[in-house]
């Protein structure tokens, strides 16, 4: 039984609707890139629909402006869509200007945030300081992308959990690359892991007998060879 909460990460309406009926899924996240890939053209319409589909489970919706005043305006609108919404604020804008002053303003006004795209311990420490005293929020560390650079993300994830231990805020293991990342997140006591819809389909493999999995793989090769009509 997994203790880490699995949040479905995506922007496909049909997939989200199906996963909303899955007791494994404890929350949902999306972002502008996933929405673009899904063909979403009306951001606010999509957001309103998904808020209702997934309620009362939490949903993180991201601002998309590069200017802080506009980020705040968007954040206030998104926060009002439902009591289950956390507003995703990237740690910086594209000019690498910190977003944490905005985060402080929002949490003072009672907005639950999800500070996203964190990669360094310094960013985590500064984020935790910025949300201190505010409503329960999320700190999203992109462990998968950290690992893509050849760096082990476990030290930053475990240290982040230590810093969050005395708070009401939760750590998100973002951008996992494989099912084993879910196991890793669970083992270290990470609060949440965001998982794409495709990867969620593999979660039922956790604990599968490896002898049986070996046989399944051999059968797949044999069946595909027959179906392809191969001959030598």
**Region 160-184 average pLDDT:** 98
Domain boundaries, given as residue ranges, for the chain? 5-206
- Per residue in 127-158, pLDDT (tens digit) is 999 999 999 999 999 999 999 999 999 999 99
The pLDDT, as a whole number, for residue 28 is 98
Pair 4, 185: CB distance under 8 Å: yes
Count CB-CB contacts under 10 A for residue 107: 20
pTM for this prediction? 0.96
Assign 88 to helix, strand or coil.
strand
Distance of alpha carbon 1 from alpha carbon 84, whole angstroms? 25
CATH architecture, range 5-206 = Alpha-Beta Barrel (3.20)
User: φ, ψ for residue 91 (rounded to 5)?
Assistant: -60, -30
DSSP string, 95-133: T--B-HHHHHHHHHTT--EEEEEE-SHHHHHHHHHHHTT
Active site residue 5: no
The DSSP letter of residue 92 is: B
* Strand stretches in 42-191, DSSP E: 59-62, 85-90, 113-118, 138-141, 170-173
Average pLDDT over residues 77-93: 98
Taking every pair of Cα atoms in the chain, the longest distance, rounded to a whole number of angstroms, is: 71
pLDDT, mean of residues 177-195: 98
- Exactly one of 88, 202, 208, 219 is catalytic; which is it? 88
Question: Which residues share a beta bridge with 113?
Answer: 87
Other residues' Cβ atoms within 10 Å of the Cβ of residue 99: 22
Digit-coded pLDDT (tens) for 44-69: 999 999 999 999 999 999 999 999 99
Band of residue 1 on the pLDDT scale cut at 50, 70, 90: confident
What is the pLDDT, as a whole number, of residue 60? 98
- Answer for the pair 184, 176: CB distance below 8 angstroms, yes or no: no
- For 23, the 3-state DSSP assignment is coil
* Sign for the pseudo-dihedral over CA of 21, 23, 29, 35: negative
Would you tell me how many other CB atoms lie within 10 Å of the CB of residue 144?
Answer: 17
Residue 61, SS3 per DSSP: strand
């Amino acid at each position: 039984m997994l203790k880490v909460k699995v949040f479905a990460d995506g922007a496909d309406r049909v997939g989200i609707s199906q996963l909303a009926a899955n007791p494994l899924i404890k929350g949902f996240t999306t972002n502008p890139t996933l929405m673009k890939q899904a063909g979403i053209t009306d951001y606010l319409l999509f957001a309103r629909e998904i808020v209702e589909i997934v309620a009362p489970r939490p949903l993180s919706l991201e601002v998309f402006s590069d200017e802080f005043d506009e980020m705040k305006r968007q954040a206030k609108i998104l926060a009002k869509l439902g009591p289950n919404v956390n507003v995703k604020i990237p740690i910086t804008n594209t000019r690498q200007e910190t977003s944490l002053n905005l985060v402080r303003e929002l949490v003072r006004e009672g907005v639950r945030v999800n500070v996203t795209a964190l990669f360094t311990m310094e960013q985590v420490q500064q984020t935790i300081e910025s949300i201190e005293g505010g409503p329960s929020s999320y700190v999203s560390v992109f462990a998968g992308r950290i690992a893509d650079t050849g760096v082990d993300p476990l030290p930053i994830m475990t240290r982040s959990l230590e810093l969050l231990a005395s708070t009401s805020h939760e750590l998100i293991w973002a951008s996992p690359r494989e099912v084993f990342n879910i196991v890793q997140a669970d083992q270290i006591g990470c609060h949440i892991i965001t998982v794409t819809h495709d990867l969620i389909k593999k979660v039922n493999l956790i604990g599968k007998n490896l002898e049986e999995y070996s046989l399944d793989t051999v059968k797949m090769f044999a069946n595909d060879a027959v179906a392809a009509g191969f001959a030598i």
